[in-house]
Amino acid sequence: MSKKDDSVAAWRALLLAHAGAVRAIERDLVLAGTIPLSWYDVLLELNAAPDRRLRMQELGEAAVLSRTRVSRIVDELVVAGLVRREANPDDRRSAYAVITADGRRELRRVAPVYLDAVRARFVDNLPAKDVPAVRRAFEALLVASEPDEQRRA
Amino acid sequence: MSKKDDSVAAWRALLLAHAGAVRAIERDLVLAGTIPLSWYDVLLELNAAPDRRLRMQELGEAAVLSRTRVSRIVDELVVAGLVRREANPDDRRSAYAVITADGRRELRRVAPVYLDAVRARFVDNLPAKDVPAVRRAFEALLVASEPDEQRRA
DNA sequence: GAAGATTGACTATTCAATCTTA
DNA sequence: TAAGATTGAATAGTCAATCTTC
């Protein structure tokens, strides 16, 4: 009943609901025969980035993937022809991942499936009046966790 | 700017914030030298259950783990002496997992660390006025996803 | 034959070591 | 020496086959 209980209950509900929604969405995507969620996320971030490219590390942050995992997924996407790597002339240690024309085509093709899934498994089940608060709350959470990322360095 | 955009933005913020918070909490636990989060979740659910026991399948649902994974984690917990398996006289196909006295002791020992981490990484960074909406929203989401679980059967 | 659970084989993900350039 | 990225070895997690009981 206390504020504390309410908070911990919110945390537990978040964990359960997140897991359920992600699983349901992934299942929808598999049934629809599209690319996996991780590919989709990476393509989405690349497509939205300036020049449709991101350094590996930036890509990892944007798509919530570890540096290692980004390397591996970009490998797969390169093999599939949806992304290519490109050297960074300004700093030759780093590498760009760039979405290809095929990648953009694929993204357009699967976007409706993905959006439908997110809508059906998340948005539509959220009380409409709570959506702004949810967005606000998690964006605040994001901002709060950024400084921590810095602190690691 | 539309409601739709707001919803998708909420989804993306949720994914990023969830990943950030979970990672931060796991890091906190590692630094504090406690048991892993998955063990903690299992012990917590068992401790809260009637008779401090749950069938494997129920435990999986409560702790957001696949049936397979529950088997494996309970194996580990049994080896560590924190949980024991017990036959179900009413249905000998199923098995109970029961938290032991040592398990409860361990749970009490690490609970403060866990609660501090959840508070520091989640609760304290959430705008206080949004907490009720967040709790309400995710509990609604949970309820909405239950029927789907049934449908699978 | 189906439900509950476990096991073995496979895939996904992480951790630590490595390589290259700054 | 540190930053950016990748790779090999190890761990965690999943999927399909199996075993037991209903």
Rounded-to-integer distance, Cα A109 and Cα A34, Å: 9
pLDDT single digits (tens) B44-55:
999 999 999 999
| Percent of chain A topping pLDDT 70 | 92
Tokens 């810095």 sit on residue: A150
- CA-to-CA distance for A107 and B89, rounded, in angstroms? 54
Q: Which helix (H) or strand (E) holds B53?
A: strand B53-55
Find tokens 């629809």 and name the residue: A32
Q: What's residue A148's pLDDT?
A: 47
Q: Which chain A residues are within 8 Å of B122, Cβ to Cβ? A: 7, 11, 14, 141
Cα A144 from Cα B20, distance rounded (Å): 10
Residue B113 and residue B121 in contact, taking contact as beta carbons nearer than 8 Å: no
DSSP string, B28-55: HHHHHT---HHHHHHHHHHHHSGGGEEE
Asked if residue A46 has pLDDT above 80, the reply is yes
| Burial classification of residue A89, based on how many CB atoms lie within 10 Å of its CB (0-12 exposed, 13-18 middle, 19 or more buried) | exposed
Which pLDDT band, with edges at 50, 70 and 90, does A153 fall under? very low
State residue B153's pLDDT score.
Answer: 30
Helix (H, G, I), strand (E, B) or coil at A140: helix
Q: Which residues of chain B register pLDDT less than 50?
A: 148-153
- Give the CA-to-C1' distance from B78 to D20 in angstroms: 21
Å from B126 (CA) to D7 (C1')?
A: 39
Is strand C in 7 Å reach of the CB of B42? no
A84-143 pLDDT, tens digit per residue, is: 999 999 999 999 999 999 999 999 999 999 999 999 999 999 999 998 999 999 999 888
Instruction: Give B150's contacts in chain A (Cβ within 8 Å).
Output: none
In this prediction, residue A99 carries a pLDDT of 98
Per-position DSSP letters for A38-61, written without gaps between them: HHHHHHHHHHHSGGGEEEHHHHHH
Q: Nearest CB to A17: which of B125, B131, B142?
A: B142
A-chain CB neighbours of B127 within 8 Å are 136-137, 140
pLDDT of residue A151: 37
| CB-CB under 8 Å, B11 with A145 | no
Residue A146: what pLDDT? 63
- Here the tokens at position A12 are 């537990």
Q: What local confidence, expressed as pLDDT, does residue B2 receive?
A: 61
CA distance A54 to A65: 14
Q: How confident is the model at residue A57 (pLDDT cuts 50, 70, 90)?
A: very high
